Structure 1
Amino acid sequence: MWQINQTFELEGVLYRILSITEFNVKWIELYNDKALPVDISVLELEELLSNQTLRPVNDPYLSSLLNSGTSISPAALKRRDESFIIIESMISSDEVFYPSSRSKLADKIVQKKLATKKTIYRLLRVYWQKGQSKNALIPSFGERGGYGSIRSNVKKPGRPSVYSDSRGTVVDEDIKKIFERVINKSLLIKTPKSQSDAYVEFREHFANSYPDIGVKDYPTKRQFTYYYRQNYKIDKRLKLQTSLTNYLKDHRPLQSTSTAHVLGPGSRYEIDATIADIYLASEIDRNEIIGRPTIYFVIDVFSRMIVGLYIGYDSPSYVVAMQAIVTACTNKYELCKKVGLDIDESDWPVSGLPDAILADRGELIGHQIEALASGFGVRIENAPPRRGDAKGIVERAFGTIQEKFKPYVAGVVQGARIKKHGESDYRLQAEMSVKEFTQIILKIVLHHNNYKQMLTYDPDDAMPADIRWIPRDIWNWGIKSKTGMLRAADPEVLRVGILPRKTATLSERGLKVWGVYYISSEILKSGWLVRYSGHTRSKNLEVAYDPDNADIVYLFTDNSYKNYWRCNIADRSRRFRSMTFWKVWELQRVEKTVKKDHESVEYEKLRELNKFIEDTKKGASKERSSVDIGQSDRQRIKGIKSNKSDAIHQERSLRGKVVNASQSKEKATITTLYGDEEDYDYPSFVPGLFDDESDQ
């Protein structure tokens, strides 16, 4: 499939393949005076070719090389042969394609004094760019001037200056080199200087190089700017002045549209989030500023219909994105009813699962999203990092929707700074609650879906001329006339199916998830909680949990994503009831911190306790060893009963002793409240309660 010397076009730039290995290809950019071979994987080339970003083109040098045999001059032949001798030893080895090895090979040629290193690299570049043949080194003696080229002038072109007596000078090769040095250093960088500052820098270099030339004869700023713009076209300047990601996102030529790559409604949804440009207040206390809410939008690419959303204070995450997707796939009547809006089904006729969802990698990536992909058949597509243009439709919708409410509400974010000198802080103007803000956004979304005319929409070639270019009409036409990609889904099954997953453990105490125990009637019936040491319980159970509700988890009994047991929090974990898992995790973190902080105290006191026990034991052993036994072991054992009886009698005698009244202090005055004092003597049967059983 790939051949050496094959030429391709990628993003308007021509490349030539120089070498091919099993997994990589080395190629070089044509028409670049500083280009060197670079690696690109075969897989990446195949992907670029399949999506038509990369396309083969005719070799621009092929015809000139084929026709050069008859028209080449003796001087050009001589120059070609001399140039080929210089690099012949390098091009015969594949090591020349590796920077470090190439440099070493060039140094050997320099040591032979055949050419400078700069000349060697120039010849290699020409050899590679023009087809890796000997004739590629034929000098272009006949090429002079031409459209878009800088011409060599003997006399300074242009009219004389009217407002200054500065004469300027003819820009020769030496001045061009200074131009190049300043342009590469100051303008063709990621943080370029202004052209005025770059020209000032050029004047300093020019003064150092030509100290005898007067200021009036310096090349003018116009000459400097003209050279810069003529030799560095806008696309080349942008590539050098911006990162590749920003260039692809903001400046690359657009060759197609999003609509051209979808078949109909539900073919692809785009989802993204933004932090709204408004500060909201508490609904209970309007003086309490809550902050800026998060907005998620889910948009159908084919019709531009906003099919789902989320508005709240939670940060963008998988969990919140799933809430937006659930609203996109279910009926919108309940969503609007929660905030006091009544709609007809025809106002928002969208429910069902799409064929694909395009999202950022951070939110819809990893094993958590596998349920949506394998359980419900939705293909997940991830946009490249920092490439908002990959989801251009939903990105643009954020700007359009927010610009609609900003002129009418207070607390709107203004500019990059929170407060300028002499201005009030817009955060203090917050007065709207999240419910009111949600009502406004929903109204704007309904207006967008039902009445917003899209003047730049690119319609399908089969769309009739009488179809209005508004999202609802395009959606309805697409459902009837195009490939219908939507599939019905039970709202509750979908909600549970795309919740975050976790592996749970099972013991006689119940199902343990995040340190919280759960039980259900199905678990009890299964016998999993029977307390028996030899009991075998299921392992690696998968559960789904809602981070916003710790009272319930869902235990999946198979891989269908539709069969699950609803498990409620057990009494053992009752302190976690009515909490979110966020609160549970926070509480557990505090408890672990407290336990960890107490460990040192506990271990110290345990050490003291162990020492006390050891010392007491040593004292007892010492006392025992100092007493003469005088009895046999049999006699000692036989005397246990009588010894214990004596000990009990002695203990009771000590408990019954009363402190001498003369030893007490001044007697207190006793006031009788309830007449005669009741008799609290032991009943006559009490001694029988304390009869000792015989020791065995």
Structure 2
Amino acid sequence: MEIAENMLFQNSNGKTIRIIYFNRVSSIIYAIDMGRNRWPYLIHIESINSLLDSGELKTLSEDPYFLSVVSDDLSNAEIERRDCAWEIVNFVIAQMESEELIYITKYREQAIKKAIDVYSVNYSTIKNYLIKYWKGGKIRQALLPAFRLCGAKGKEKKKSSKKRGRPNKDGAKTGVNVDDTIKKYFQVGLNRYYYNQRQNSLKTTYELIIKDFFTESRTDYEGHTVPVIKDIDQIPTYPQFLYWYKKLNDPKKELIKREGTRHYFQNYRTIIGTSTQDAGLGPGTLWQIDATQFDIYLVSSVNRNLIVGRPTLVCVIDVYSRMIVGFNVTFEPFNSYTGVMMALVNSMTSKEEFCLQYGITLDKGEWDVSCVPQRIFADRGELNGKQIEEAIANLGISIQNAPAYRADYKGIIEQAFAQLNLNVKPFADGIVKNNQTRGDEEYRLKANLTIQEFTKLIIKCVLFHNNHHVLSSYVLDEMMLEDTVEKIPSKIWTYGLRNMKGQLRMLPESTIKHHLLPNDTGSVTSRGVKYKKMLYASDYTLKNHWFQNARINGSWKIKIWYDPRDLTHIYVVNEDGEFNKLTLLNHLSKYRYKGIDEIEQIMRYEESLDSMGKEKELQAKMQLFDEIEAIVGEGRQRTKVEKDDELSKTERLRGIRENQRAEREQLRKIDRNDSDENNLSEEINIESSVVDVRDDELEMFRFTGNLDWNDENE
């Protein structure tokens, strides 16, 4: 059995341990007891294998210890405490020359002493931080305080006229509770007086807020208009203003508005990692990510007569082995959050289901890569943005940024792009021709592949690269030469797993998707969870009566996560923080296994058909209106000619029911006459047909009488 970091094992007594480090060279494993607050301890792999073989130890397939929380729902206090603990943990780890040293007592104690001096915290605090970090899977969210287990989060405080908080020392002034109106005054005042180049102090900003919202104009004894505070006991205090300033303030916005954008990016922007390309520890240590616009034009999957342009290919490659661990084909621009994140999701999750969507069945070990890297190396484009940095950092991954306009820093992945282009160009149509001259055939008109067909083509090229492409320029070390390792990415990957110190980090697929999948807002309606005119449902939504409640109380908004490559499923987070999958309803099966771009094309195509139909309908309706007007006009004219003006209104309105009965009898009489005439014409036709038959028989008799019977007898 392959042992990997973050795996959970449980013995017959119910004790659960997590593997937090595995040295494949020495076969030493460090594990931590999930039920006790103690340091990690050493286990030999032989002990684990023997316990597994005897059945005394079993592997847990589900990991209940990972925290799935929505970052938007975290309070400032939770974020502050989490980030403080994260900084201390990283400081302690940074003191070690290698990760394994932190599990050895004497080295760990030295690092903790330094952290105590730097951060002025006690030994127990640092110990608790490290143990939480290891138990939680070595991700930042593991260091969140347990606020979720206490208090009444989300419940409104009871409204009361009594002032909340500590009474004033003088006992005279009671003060005022800060409600939504006063909070709005604070926000408006900060935007008006604090977030600008004037650089007013907070005290001045507070006083100007009082002037704008808590004063009124009065006339003094000399006739001058002066501002006067309405009620000194009903204004918020300066400490209250400071409290809400800290809750409402965005430090980035404050620095940019007060100091300028350039000053912020030069002195205060977040810098994570370096540009050092060190992947010597083995597979999964360092990945490179890049995006390129592929040199081919594609056609629409809805209507192949439509040319939809060139696709963007986002690729992720393992630096150590040169293995392409994942990719994404999209029409999103280079720096799109969606395009980059879907490439990372594809890299960190199983490829079997992904390939099956395109009719490709993987052999065992053909593309068996589903792990979380330690570092990701990118330029200023792909992973530039607070949302992307936060999502990746929450998985315990650090980002290394290359300098601008230095593609040579990512030569490995640039070479992979070149190889993919070389494999595709000789066979595909619609390939870009750079030096096109006058009179040459327009290459864009030759396009004939859809994005689904192109993605299938790229999968085939990736499988060839990983399992058959020889890396001529790859430098093998002495141990690789002794083991006769082939210069093929999959062979190097396998060798690295067995012999190098690097280890694969495993996280639940739901945790990866929770942090990396793009999110949006859907609506819970009586017909299902609605997103982009499509409807979804699941066992969870039905058991909790979502649609029944929506029908009774009205629909409501909900945050959803989705895979833009395939909108057959969307995801929601329930009250317990669990990731739940919702499936497209059966009557919308035409959208199954289709990406967001293709679905939008289908919807636009349907709208165009509806528009054409409505134009024809309108034209036919105009003709209908003319025919109705003609019939009404004819009836109006005849009635005008035959109308007896001497009859009074009363006489005309009298006997409507008798008139209707007489009209009905008249219509019946007309119908009977028409029926008799039809029967008579049928009898005439029958008689004429009989006469015709007799005439035919007589004519035949005359004909046979003229025959020469003597000749026949002879």
When normalised by structure 2's length, the TM-score is 0.40
Name the structure, 1 or 2, with higher relative contact order (CA <8 Å, separation 6+): 2
Larger Rg over CA atoms: 1
When normalised by structure 1's length, the TM-score is 0.41
